[in-house]
């Protein structure tokens, strides 16, 4: 077989500490031989929700990271950023300290990621480059429920109501009443194509709002516009949710939540999100988690 070149890749399960959980990710730690067109072809071939390609920095970062779904490039995504940082840290030949800060040049700008080791192993936490931008839902309550194959009474009352939000990639955040309603959600693709496909936030993130008992927020994510029928862990959506929740009331300056996603897919994912109030009045959003290395190999080009 003729081979024009060999490019190494690794796969990880991200936002989990157990194999076969979380969100699978492919990473090419040295993508210098590849063109953007080849990156897109590889992402389609691998056919995971995202594939990350690491390149030398162009400005002040430590690395440039380009993220592709099977159908398009993304300016930012949580689990590729977290997984890439954890992989690069593990591949480093010398570790002189327990922590390592990366600055990834992504489509949204510089994304800072801190990797630390604790009793549970390595943990990575990113700071979203963009503050949360919140917009009204493009759909009325009844139509929004119908897109998710739910009844209007399955959507939670009160604040926060359905809205679009983004910390780099826009999502339509839809609070539902309980875990049972979340489990019944099924994307109606015909309605989605007619009502949401061309909107600012076409990706649906139904979730059960946090209570006061400290239990994790439960969530799901549907993104046919990205070629993803359902995603087991979506750091970008969780960042947007954290920004939304932090702005609901005058709570403490620092707040944190845990989001459990992927249960319905058999790939439970644990995503940690926290927010901090800045002196200028803005809110910083941090998303963190762990990952498990699953495989390595070579692409023959």
CA contacts within 13 A on the Cβ side of 293: 16
Cβ neighbours of residue 73 under 8 Å, at least 6 residues apart? Answer: 36, 39, 40, 66, 67, 107
| DSSP per-residue codes, 208-277 | EPP-SS-PPEEE--BBGGGTBS--S--HHHHHHHHHHHHTSSS--SEEEEEEEE-GGGT--EEEEEEEEE
Residue 154 DSSP symbol? G
* Catalytic residue, candidates 50, 105, 125, 230: 50
Q: 291 forms bridges with which residues in the sheet?
A: 14
Residue 11 burial (10 A CB sphere; 0-12, 13-18, 19+): buried
| CB neighbour list of residue 56: distance below 8 Å, 6 or more residues apart | 32, 63, 64
Alpha-carbon span 240 to 34, nearest angstrom:
32
- Residue 90 a catalytic site member: no
Q: Which of 160, 166, 172 minimizes the C-alpha distance to 199?
A: 172
Q: SS3 for 172?
A: strand
Exposed (0-12), middle (13-18) or buried (19+): which is 60, by Cβ within 10 Å?
exposed
Q: Which residues are the active-site residues? A: 50
């Amino acid at each position: 077989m003729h081979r024009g070149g060999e490019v190494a890749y690794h796969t990880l399960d991200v936002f989990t500490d157990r194999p076969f959980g979380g969100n699978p990710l492919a990473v090419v730690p040295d993508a210098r031989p590849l063109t953007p067109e080849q990156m897109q072809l590889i992402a389609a071939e691998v056919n995971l929700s995202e594939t990350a390609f690491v390149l030398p920095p162009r400005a002040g970062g430590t690395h440039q990271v380009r993220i592709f779904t099977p159908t398009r490039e993304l300016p930012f995504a949580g689990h590729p950023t977290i997984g890439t940082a954890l992989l690069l840290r593990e591949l480093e030949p010398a570790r002189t300290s327990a922590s390592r800060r990366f600055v990834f040049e992504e489509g949204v700008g510089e994304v800072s990621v801190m990797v630390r080791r604790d009793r549970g192993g390595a943990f990575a936490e990113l700071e979203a480059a963009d503050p949360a931008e919140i917009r009204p839902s493009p759909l009325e309550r009844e139509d929004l429920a119908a897109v998710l194959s739910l009844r209007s009474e399955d959507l939670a009352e009160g604040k926060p109501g359905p809205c679009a939000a983004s910390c780099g990639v826009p999502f339509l955040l839809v609070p539902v009443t309980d875990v049972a309603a979340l489990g019944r959600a099924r994307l109606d693709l015909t309605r989605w194509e007619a009502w949401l496909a061309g909107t600012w936030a076409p990706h649906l993130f139904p979730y059960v709002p946090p209570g006061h008992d400290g239990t994790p927020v439960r969530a799901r994510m549907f993104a046919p516009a990205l070629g993803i029928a359902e995603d087991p862990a979506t750091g970008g959506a969780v960042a947007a949710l954290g920004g939304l929740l932090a702005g609901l009331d005058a709570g403490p300056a620092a707040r944190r939540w845990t989001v459990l996603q992927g249960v319905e897919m058999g790939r439970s994912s644990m995503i940690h999100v926290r927010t901090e109030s800045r002196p200028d009045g803005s809110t910083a959003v941090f998303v963190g988690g762990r990952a498990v290395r699953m495989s390595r190999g070579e692409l023959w080009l």
